[in-house]
Structure 1
Amino acid sequence: MHQVAIIEDDMDQARLVASWLKPYGYQASLFISAELFLQAFDEGKTFDLLLVDWMLPGISGIELMQHLAQFQNRPPSIFMTSLQQDDDLARALHSGADDFISKPLNKTIFLARTHAVTRRQQLSSSAQSAHLPFQLESTSFSLIYNNQRIKLTASEFRLMQLFSHSQGTLFSREELADSIWGDTQKAHEGRALDLLISRLRKKLQGLTPPLGELANHYGKGYTFEASHPIHESS
């Protein structure tokens, strides 16, 4: 059973979200403010996922994320907000959130994105502690290697996070699309995944000495084999 905190001042919305999640193994605790959540967090209450409204009374959702960023054991988080601009998405992710869902919430999209964030966290937690000679800097979406820094898009960054936690693991196209976008259909719709892989491979190939290989296993999926044992910074 996944423990999820829903931090939302609209209790009708919070209860609706909790009812959507319950059949999928999520037990929800509802908090009407960030202050009440922080009280529970400080008392040792643990959660597997945070669903955070951006516009909260008192401490805002962004301020809450910035506060939690100092804790190594902070759970993954998703913003729920009516804000929809690209700058808002960037601000949410840079504050430490793992994803951003626009209101009004669409049930299908909401559940898919929640599943994707939870799955990424499970892969991260279950992976063996590898030590590779590069860093993933989430505050700037950068990969740092051998005194070289390359800027990644949010999707490229998520892809490298996935591979860094599970190097050598073969991921199908559906698994990659699910983990990156929360939508397995993107594995076959257009060329979004192919273009993402191609752009990331090109950036990695520009590093010296070679960092590793992003390999396509025809008809099966992709693996990443690093040249050495991955560091990840927060």
Structure 2
Amino acid sequence: MTVLNREDANASPAYAPVPSSDEGTARGDGIKVVLVDDDEDYREAVGGELSDLGFQVVSLPDGAAMFEYFGNGNSSDVILLDWRMPGVSGLDLLGQARRRGINVPVVFLTGMLAASYENAALDGGALDFVNKSRGATILAKRLNLIVKAGKRPPEQQQEEVLDCGALQLRPQISRAFWHGTDVNLTVVEFNIVNLLVRTAGEYVTYRAIYDCVHHVGFIAGAGEDGYRTNVRSSIKRIRNKFRAIDGDFGEIENFLAFGYRWRGAVRDTAD
């Protein structure tokens, strides 16, 4: 459900005309955008603004239409996904898209300002989280930054792939595959697995695991060693996701009071 923030009748419209001084950095230059939102008026307004800025916009009302669009062989440079739609969250749709092999960058649109929603979106694999009230100019600039940052010279196009037994990691898109099946890890969970795999066979301390998803010295939980509880909870979620694919999964081993390790050796390849 789309939420537009209107504090009073004199507030600036959410999608005012683009000032000429901003036009250069906001120009889409043919960037293909799939806009998914259940609010027809919102889709028309935002789609029109982005089209005027040079973006190629495909407006779709729901996740089913989005999956049909990509299932028919169509492509896009970026997906603009509403955070909340009838019967399903945008976060759930993102997970479904990744499991279907749709690895297009995703930007969430929302009228909800809580940091917890933004954290959930970024942990879930989105590249940005934009408030709908920011307007089309800011949205266009963010889209430009994301898409252009992902375009590299041909000699840099090879994607890093790490193979470790039945596990394959693709750091560029933060995806992990076990026996060829996407484990559907969040970005935070992927970072933990990535750390363990890159040091496969060696135990990594609780502190090092925690620091890889926060910052060095960050303290959370009860007491000086409270971060251990956070790490254990993360490892439990990761193990459960692997075991949903393979009930015999046991690659993550614990050394009591020290940390965890990934068994086996990693092989670094490229596509």
TM-score normalised according to structure 1 size: 0.57
Displacement, 1:54?
A: 0.9
- Please point out which of 176, 180, 187 is paired with 1:139: 187
Q: Is residue 84 from structure 1 mapped to residue 145 from structure 2 by the alignment?
A: no
Structure 2 vs 1, CA of residues 128 and 31 (structure 1 numbering), >3 Å: closer, same or farther? closer
The CA distance in 1 between the partners of 2:152 and 2:214, in whole Å, is 21
1:98 alignment partner in structure 2: 127
Structure 2 vs 1, CA of residues 131 and 139 (structure 1 numbering), >3 Å: closer, same or farther? closer
1:9 maps to amino acid: D
The CA distance in 2 between the partners of 1:132 and 1:35, in whole Å, is 31
Question: 1:6 is paired with a residue of what secondary structure?
Answer: strand
Q: How does 1:6-21 map to 2 (within 5 A)?
A: 6-21=35-50
Report if the CA contact (8 A) 2:36-2:60 is conserved.
Answer: yes
Displacement, 1:104?
A: 1.8
2:63 alignment partner in structure 1: 34
The CA distance in 2 between the partners of 1:119 and 1:4, in whole Å, is 13
Q: Extract structure 1 runs of 4+ deviating beyond 6 A.
A: 132-135
The CA distance in 2 between the partners of 1:151 and 1:95, in whole Å, is 17
Displacement, 1:20?
A: 2.6
1:5 maps to amino acid: V
- Please point out which of 139, 151, 160 is paired with 2:212: 151
2:4 alignment partner in structure 1: none
Question: 1:47 is paired with a residue of what secondary structure?
Answer: coil
The CA distance in 2 between the partners of 1:125 and 1:90, in whole Å, is 33
The CA distance in 2 between the partners of 1:67 and 1:108, in whole Å, is 29
1:91 maps to amino acid: A
Deviations 1:130-164 (A, max 9, x none): 6498984562173624355552459xxxxxxxxxx
Displacement, 1:73?
A: 4.6
Report if the CA contact (8 A) 1:54-1:80 is conserved.
Answer: yes
Report if the CA contact (8 A) 2:50-2:136 is conserved.
Answer: no
1:119 alignment partner in structure 2: 148
Deviations 1:161-218 (A, max 9, x none): xxxxxxxxxxxxxxxxxxxxxxxxxxxxxxxxxxxxxxxxxxxxxxxxxxxxxxxxxx
Displacement, 1:2?
A: 2.1
The CA distance in 2 between the partners of 1:13 and 1:152, in whole Å, is 35
Displacement, 1:55?
A: 1.1
Report if the CA contact (8 A) 1:52-1:77 is conserved.
Answer: yes
Question: 1:69 is paired with a residue of what secondary structure?
Answer: helix
Query: Which has more radius of gyration?
Result: 2
Displacement, 1:28?
A: 0.6
Question: 2:73 is paired with a residue of what secondary structure?
Answer: coil
TM-score normalised according to structure 2 size: 0.50
The CA distance in 2 between the partners of 1:38 and 1:131, in whole Å, is 27
Structure 2 residue runs without a partner (length 5+):
1-29, 163-168, 175-185, 216-267
Displacement, 1:231?
A: 7.5
Report if the CA contact (8 A) 2:130-2:139 is conserved.
Answer: yes
How many residue pairs were aligned?
A: 158
Structure 2 vs 1, CA of residues 8 and 129 (structure 1 numbering), >3 Å: closer, same or farther? same
Report if the CA contact (8 A) 1:53-1:79 is conserved.
Answer: yes
Q: How does 1:43-62 map to 2 (within 5 A)?
A: 43-62=72-91
The CA distance in 2 between the partners of 1:28 and 1:17, in whole Å, is 9
Question: 2:130 is paired with a residue of what secondary structure?
Answer: strand
Structure 2 vs 1, CA of residues 125 and 101 (structure 1 numbering), >3 Å: closer, same or farther? farther
